[in-house]
Structure 1
Amino acid sequence: MKIAFYGSSLLSAYWNGAATYYRGVLRALARQGHAITFYEPDAFDRQAHRDIDPPEWVRSVVYPATDAGLQSVLAEAGDADVVVKANGVGVYDRELLEGIIAYARGDALRVYWDVDAAATLDEMAADPDHPVRNALPDLDLVLTYGGGPPVVEAYRAFGARACVPIYNGVDPTTHFPVVPDREFACDLAFLGNRLPDREARVEAFFLDPAARLPDYRFLIGGSGWESKAMPDNVRHLGHVATRDHNAFNSTPLAVLNIARDSMARVGFSPATRVFEAAGAAACLITDAWEGVEQFLEPDREILVARDGRDVADILKALTPERARAIGAAARDRVCRDHSYALRGAEVDRVLRAACDKTREMA
């Protein structure tokens, strides 16, 4: 099938945490035989911070973030069998969503792919005129970055015809253990951009343990933290390019995952960094959220902390030998059960079943 995908960016992870998720899922989907075009706006300085060149498995279209640029790419929606609008493009989000409904062929599948479903659902509950809420009657399918049963039930309650979570995963050809790099040497590392709905949890799960353990070394990567007051034993790296993620995850004694507020509240929402770090055989510590055991086994494949004190206690008890054992077990698990090859095959099945249902109803 021909798939037109309108998203934030495939080429740049700069202020764009969904980039590696798009790459993993869409690369695997292309291997299922689909012809994919990814449309992304030239916005937020992302093109100046590209992590990859346009890959051979997708047609990449970068359009000007203007009214004319928007119309030029929406005009191509009518050529596709499946038209996808992802959330969080950052510019023309409402117009893109309304556009895929208006421009898609009558027999095409119209899909909304929500990579921040918990937050979107909160917005929809607060705003009866929310564009996604208004669009649901005209959409054939909602796919989500995660969220499990709570997100599926919430979307169905708002009127979605079907909602299927497509979780993050790992591509073992891009995320794997590498030789440690002194640039990333520390006891605990965290990678994530500074966002309003994450900052308090970073304070609780990362900065609080750093203050409790002044003799330990902490490392934080991601954009926006340069103005944040931190303990002296915390080093800030700024944006970490995708090419450096394996070294970032392979080098520290342990790597920390911190969910955003909405994802922690809903659960069943493992971030991309969980699978990327596990793919690099990192010893993962995660803040507690419902459903973690469906992805990695606590105490054997991942360590779970309820608060900053737990993080500090885990670090004090963690030996290099145990950290390596946990990292190896996590890598085995994600490569076996959570690969993007499996995710791509799942999306393929979901899209084909939805297309068949749409044709039956036509």
Structure 2
Amino acid sequence: MTGGLRLVVLGLSLSSSWGNGHATTYRALLRAFAARGHEVTFLERDVPWYAAHRDLVDPDWCRLVLYDDLGALDRHRDEIRRADAVIVGSYVPDGVAVGQLVQDLAEGVRAFYDIDTPVTLAKLARGEFEYLSPDLIPGYDLYLSFTGGPTLREIERRYGSPAARALYCSVDPDLYPARDLPQRWDLSYLGTYSPDRQPVLDRLLIDPARRCPDLRFVVAGPQYPDDLDWPDNVERLPHVGPADHPEFYGVSRYTLNVTRADMVAAGWSPSVRLFEAGSCGVPIISDRWPGLESILAPGRDILLAESADEVIGILRDRSEDERRQLAAAGRARVSREHTSAHRAETLERYLREATSVRGHAEAGLLVGS
């Protein structure tokens, strides 16, 4: 497979960033992938909760198609069959049936892109096959995972994946520039509500806010329960669209990263917020998890905290020069290793390698017959 590739992606959402991190991930990756000379089609189930919050309708770097239900995919059978590669994403509605359709039809590389790997594996262990079942995994030539490290070998050994590869999230630096703006908040947090993240958010932001009424905090994101008790110095923003992220980060002295429990347990699971904030030049305070040091260097590119005291110490005691040095180092690391261009190059390499492996296997079958 040489020259430009024809890629079909069946993902949760490209059109709406509301309440999910998938859209921004796909947008950054596929825009950069198309810039490498490839043709991209994105097939998205048309669902009401995203239809009401669409912030991308007609991208100029890929063809976006909305379909009503599983039956409506029949009109795209030839496109799926002829593609050089087809990717099915995690949390796609009727994902098991969609995956089976792709494996039955696609003549090119068939890949699963897991943007929720630890959650997926926990579901599989409980026998919950919401969008992926164990019998489908060996039929995907590639298992692309948001989680790296030992989890990749588990996917291969336990579930029979021919090739599990890390494909972390990334940032498009053109859309997430650093901006020198007047500071509005001492510590910000951007993320959809999650019950398993909330205790850490309480410890690392809400508790410091209660103890430091003279400092300013913000929590942005949808789906937070109405009965949560927010201190007076914590501003609440129900949604901040991707176009407004650079300004959100730009007016923050520091921003907080909080990782979901399953991803902490698995390790090697960076959030897209790490790279967005880093690209925007805001210093990051994060919870701890295995593998973080392979992505951003603690103490140089990022600061780690486990308690309210540590967060307060950072906000109170670090000089402005130290803050700016941390921001510059983080931004430089993201620019060197974690942009969408880096991930698009990695994806292309994985797809070409999988094509070569598949070609050799098919040639062996022909010889054997």
TM-score normalised by length of structure 2: 0.91
Work out whether 1:3 is the aligned partner of 2:7: yes
After superposition, where does 1:196-207 map in structure 2 within 5 Å? 196-207=195-206
What's the offset of the Cα at 1:53?
3.6
Work out whether 1:103 is the aligned partner of 2:102: no
Matches of 2:196 and 2:163, distance apart in 1: 28
Maintained 8 Å contact 1:226/1:238: no
Matches of 1:201 and 1:134, distance apart in 2: 36
| Structure 2 counterpart of 1:218, one-letter code | F
Work out whether 1:35 is the aligned partner of 2:39: yes
| Structure 1 counterpart of 2:229, one-letter code | A
2:215 matched residue in structure 1: 216
* Deviations 1:193-243, CA, capped at 9 Å, x for gaps: 012332232223222222232221110000012512222221101110111
After superposition, where does 1:297-336 map in structure 2 within 5 Å? 297-336=297-336
Matches of 1:128 and 1:211, distance apart in 2: 40
Assess, with a 3 A threshold, how the Cα gap between structure 1 residues 331 and 346 changes in structure 2: closer, same or farther: same
Matches of 1:299 and 1:344, distance apart in 2: 29
% of aligned pairs identical? 34
| Structure 1 counterpart of 2:112, one-letter code | Y
Secondary structure at the residue paired with 1:45?
helix
Matches of 2:78 and 2:199, distance apart in 1: 43
Secondary structure at the residue paired with 1:253?
strand
Secondary structure at the residue paired with 2:315?
helix
After superposition, where does 1:1-362 map in structure 2 within 5 Å? 1-64=5-68, 66-74=69-77, 76-89=79-92, 91-105=93-107, 108-127=108-127, 131-145=132-146, 147-157=147-157, 158-180=159-181, 185-225=184-224, 227=226, 228-362=228-362
Assess, with a 3 A threshold, how the Cα gap between structure 1 residues 60 and 209 changes in structure 2: closer, same or farther: same
What's the offset of the Cα at 1:164?
0.4
Matches of 1:260 and 1:128, distance apart in 2: 19
Maintained 8 Å contact 2:96/2:129: no
What's the offset of the Cα at 1:326?
1.1
Maintained 8 Å contact 2:80/2:106: yes
What's the offset of the Cα at 1:148?
1.7
| Structure 1 counterpart of 2:358, one-letter code | T
Deviates more, 1:328-337 or 1:173-182: 173-182
Secondary structure at the residue paired with 2:229?
coil
| Structure 1 counterpart of 2:196, one-letter code | D
Secondary structure at the residue paired with 1:50?
coil
Secondary structure at the residue paired with 1:219?
strand
Matches of 1:71 and 1:204, distance apart in 2: 49
* Deviations 1:154-194, CA, capped at 9 Å, x for gaps: 21122111100011222221111124267xx1110000001
Matches of 1:230 and 1:52, distance apart in 2: 32
Matches of 1:238 and 1:313, distance apart in 2: 28
| Structure 2 counterpart of 1:187, one-letter code | D
Secondary structure at the residue paired with 1:225?
coil
Matches of 2:73 and 2:200, distance apart in 1: 37
Contiguous gaps of at least 5 residues in structure 2 = 363-369
Maintained 8 Å contact 1:151/1:266: yes
What's the offset of the Cα at 1:151?
1.6
Matches of 2:207 and 2:234, distance apart in 1: 11
Aligned residues: 355
Assess, with a 3 A threshold, how the Cα gap between structure 1 residues 88 and 308 changes in structure 2: closer, same or farther: farther
Secondary structure at the residue paired with 1:76?
helix
Secondary structure at the residue paired with 2:185?
coil
2:366 matched residue in structure 1: none
| Structure 1 counterpart of 2:176, one-letter code | H
| Structure 2 counterpart of 1:201, one-letter code | V
Matches of 2:120 and 2:155, distance apart in 1: 10
TM-score normalised by length of structure 1: 0.93
Matches of 1:181 and 1:57, distance apart in 2: 34
